[in-house]
Structure formats: structure tokens, C-alpha cells
Structure 1
């Protein structure tokens, strides 16, 4: 049982590292703290949530890679660097976009199989 848990942890950790590096490389295309960086973060989160809903991947690709690719902390950081109303808008929009992307991926998967 312990070796299975260790193997699972290594798999998820490697996937998460790969996902986080991928997100970092994408967001490097914009100046740090810019609106463009926030937009890229939203896009990466939406793409990751869509992929999760569409593919229903396992531990390495789902929990690991897509979990590392998507980020709540960068959205949270952007939110605390603005006004209260701006922070609320960023948080609500991030949640809504991510959730909608997951549902869209799930719906596309259902249509592709049905």
C-alpha cells in the first residue's frame, strides 16, 4: 500500500511540476502584473478546466498536470493588488469562467460520445 501511495504521489507531483512550468512559460509572454498577464492566466485556467471536463484525465494528467497548469493563487494575487470591487470582479469572473469551461468540456465530451 505504501509503495502505491508513493508512486501516486510521484506521478501527481511530476505532472503538477510540468503543468506549472507550462503555465509559467505561457504567462512569460506578458509583462508581470499586467492586464495581459491576467488575461493569459484566465485563458490558461479556462483551457485547463475545459480539458479536465472534456478528458476526465487521471492522476498524472488531471490532478497533476492540469492541477499545476491552472492556478488560483495568481488570480488571488491579482485580486489583492486592486480595489475591493476589482478584486470581487476578478474572483467572480475567474470562478465563473473556469466553471463554465469545465461544463463546456463535459458537454463536448458527451456530444462526441453520444
Structure 2
């Protein structure tokens, strides 16, 4: 139950953070790609546990909004948006994962792909 509450609290915080970014940058595809890419990078970089990972970053990023924007777009734009999102999010995670082994700022050294507890 404690983990469930941690994830729920983190998700609420992440959703508020995403909403703040959207209010600052405006709605649409580009702000959402930015949010999802940053979230993917942080997941790869930090290898967070339930509160920060599933909770905050899970609430911060949004697959559902991505899917809605994708289905509402012109087919050509949807294809570009799909490709850009996949490349930026997977690329963001890979860069974060690569950097996670560099141990900057006194963080524990991890092998790429190793989960931080």
C-alpha cells in the first residue's frame, strides 16, 4: 500500500508539472514531444524507483495525449509526428542511459541498463 500511495502522489505531481509546461509553452505537438523526450531522458539517466519513475515521470509524460494528437492530425503530419516522437523519446532514453554510467555529481556508478533502487 505504501508503494501505491507513493506512485499516486508522484503521478499527481507529474501531471501538475506537465500541465505547467503546457500552460507555459502552449498546447500542441511540439510541447508534448519536449515533455515526453525530457521524461524519457530522465528515466534513462536516473533509473528512478516507483515515486519518481512510475509516479512523477509517468504522470509528467503522456502517451494518451500523444495518441489523440496523432489521430487528429493530417496523415502526413501524423507520420512525421510519430517518427519524431519515437526517435526523440528512444534517443532521449538512450542518451540518459549512457550518461548514467558517467557518475557526474557523485551519483553512484551504474552500468547502462542497470536500475537504480
Instruction: Report if TM-score (shorter chain) is over 0.5.
Output: yes
Q: Which blocks of at least 5 consecutive residues in structure 1 are unaligned?
A: 1-5
**Structure 1 consecutive aligned stretches of length 4 or more whose deviation exceeds 4 Å:** none
Deviation at 1:92, TM superposition (A): 2.3
**Structure with more of its chain in helix, by fraction:** 1
Please give the alpha-carbon distance, in whole angstroms, between the structure 1 residues aligned to 2:97 and 2:25.
30
Root-mean-square deviation (Å): 1.5
* 1:43 CA drift (Å): 0.9
How far does residue 8 in structure 1 lie from its aligned partner after superposition?
1.1
Query: Cα offset for 1:41?
Result: 1.1
Q: How does 1:1-114 map onto structure 2 within 5 Å? A: 6-32=1-27, 37-112=28-103, 113=109
1:51 to partner: Cα distance: 0.7
Gaps of 5+ in 2: 104-108, 111-117
Shift of 1:30: 3.5
